[in-house]
Amino acid sequence: MTNWAPDLASRNGPRYLAIADALAADVAAGRFHAGDRLPTHRDLAWRMGVTVGTVSRAYAEAERRGLIGGEVGRGTYVRAASGDLGNLMSPAPDAMGNLIDLTFNFPPPAAEGGVLGETLAEIAADTGLLQSLLSYQSCAGRRSHRAAGAKWLALGGLEVDPDRIVVTGGAQHGMLTALAALTRPGDRVAAEALSYPGIKLAARLLGLRLDGVAMDDDGLIPEAFDALCRSGDIKALYCVPTLQNPTTLTMPAERRAAIAEIARRHGVAIVEDDIMRLLAPDAPPPLSYYAPDISYYITSLSKTVAPGLRLGFVAGPAGAAERLAAAVRTACWMAAPLTVEVGARWIADGRAERILAARRREMARRRARVLDVLGQHDVKCSEGSLHLWLNVPDPWHAGTLAAEARARGVAITPADAFAIRRRDATHAIRVCFGAAPDMAALDRAVNILAELLKSEPPEALGTVV
Ligand X SMILES: Cc1ncc(COP(=O)(O)O)c(C=O)c1O
Judged by beta carbon, residue 186 or residue 308, the one nearer ligand X is 308
Number of residues that this document lists for the chain: 465
Smallest gap from Cβ 85 to ligand X, in A, equals 14
Piece of 56-64, 81-89, 164-172, 216-224 that binds ligand X (CB under 6 A): 164-172
List the one residue from 14, 222, 307, 317 that touches ligand X (CB under 6 A).
Answer: 307
Neighbours of 397 (CB within 10 A): 17
Piece of 25-33, 167-175, 320-328, 443-451 that binds ligand X (CB under 6 A): 167-175
Judged by beta carbon, residue 76 or residue 302, the one nearer ligand X is 302
Smallest gap from Cβ 245 to ligand X, in A, equals 4
Judged by beta carbon, residue 58 or residue 432, the one nearer ligand X is 432
Whether the Cβ atoms of residue 47 and residue 41 lie closer than 8 Å to each other = no
Query: What single-letter DSSP state applies at residue 185?
Result: T
| Distance between CA atoms of residues 21 and 58, nearest Å | 9
Piece of 120-128, 166-174, 337-345, 404-412 that binds ligand X (CB under 6 A): 166-174
Judged by beta carbon, residue 171 or residue 453, the one nearer ligand X is 171
Smallest gap from Cβ 364 to ligand X, in A, equals 19
**Site membership for ligand X, residue 300 (CB under 6 A):** yes
Phi, psi of 257 (to 5 degrees): -60, -40
Picking from 314, 317, 313, 325, the residue whose alpha carbon sits closest to that of residue 290 is 317
Judged by beta carbon, residue 261 or residue 383, the one nearer ligand X is 383
**Site membership for ligand X, residue 170 (CB under 6 A):** yes
CA distances from 127 to 51, 101, 116, 130, 146 (A): 57, 41, 18, 5, 22
**Site membership for ligand X, residue 172 (CB under 6 A):** yes
Judged by beta carbon, residue 76 or residue 295, the one nearer ligand X is 295
Smallest gap from Cβ 198 to ligand X, in A, equals 5
Smallest gap from Cβ 172 to ligand X, in A, equals 3
Cβ burial, residue 66 (10 Å; 0-12/13-18/19+)? middle
| Distance between CA atoms of residues 200 and 418, nearest Å | 9
Smallest gap from Cβ 310 to ligand X, in A, equals 7
| Distance between CA atoms of residues 316 and 168, nearest Å | 13
Query: What is the enclosing helix (H) or strand (E) of 209?
Result: strand 209-213
CA distances from 181 to 21, 321, 330, 451 (A): 39, 9, 11, 48
Smallest gap from Cβ 187 to ligand X, in A, equals 20
**Site membership for ligand X, residue 385 (CB under 6 A):** no
Smallest gap from Cβ 88 to ligand X, in A, equals 15
List the one residue from 50, 153, 171, 213 that touches ligand X (CB under 6 A).
Answer: 171
Query: What single-letter DSSP state applies at residue 416?
Result: G
Judged by beta carbon, residue 6 or residue 219, the one nearer ligand X is 219
Residues in 309-328 at the binding interface with ligand X, rule: CB under 6 A: 312
Site string for ligand X, 19-38 (x = CB under 6 A): --------------------
Piece of 50-58, 74-82, 170-178, 314-322 that binds ligand X (CB under 6 A): 170-178
Smallest gap from Cβ 434 to ligand X, in A, equals 10
List the one residue from 262, 275, 321, 398 that touches ligand X (CB under 6 A).
Answer: 275
| Distance between CA atoms of residues 412 and 64, nearest Å | 20
Picking from 168, 176, 196, the residue whose alpha carbon sits closest to that of residue 276 is 196
**Site membership for ligand X, residue 97 (CB under 6 A):** no
List the one residue from 54, 76, 105, 242 that touches ligand X (CB under 6 A).
Answer: 105
Bridge partner residues of 299 (DSSP): 313
Query: What is the enclosing helix (H) or strand (E) of 78?
Result: strand 75-78
Residues in 194-213 at the binding interface with ligand X, rule: CB under 6 A: 196, 198
| Distance between CA atoms of residues 358 and 108, nearest Å | 9
Judged by beta carbon, residue 288 or residue 302, the one nearer ligand X is 302
Give the strand pairing for 100-101 and 215-216. unpaired
Q: How far does the chain reach from its first CA to its final CA, in angstroms?
A: 13
Whether the Cβ atoms of residue 171 and residue 273 lie closer than 8 Å to each other = yes
| Distance between CA atoms of residues 331 and 457, nearest Å | 46
Q: How many residues bind ligand X (CB under 6 A)?
A: 14
Smallest gap from Cβ 55 to ligand X, in A, equals 34
Site string for ligand X, 235-254 (x = CB under 6 A): -----x----x---------
Longest C-alpha distance within the chain, in Å?
A: 70
Judged by beta carbon, residue 4 or residue 106, the one nearer ligand X is 106
| Distance between CA atoms of residues 195 and 417, nearest Å | 9
Smallest gap from Cβ 44 to ligand X, in A, equals 35
Smallest gap from Cβ 168 to ligand X, in A, equals 8
Give the strand pairing for 295-300 and 312-315. antiparallel
Picking from 347, 227, 241, the residue whose alpha carbon sits closest to that of residue 288 is 241
Binding site for ligand X (CB under 6 A): 105, 170-172, 196, 198, 240, 245, 273, 275, 300, 302, 307, 312
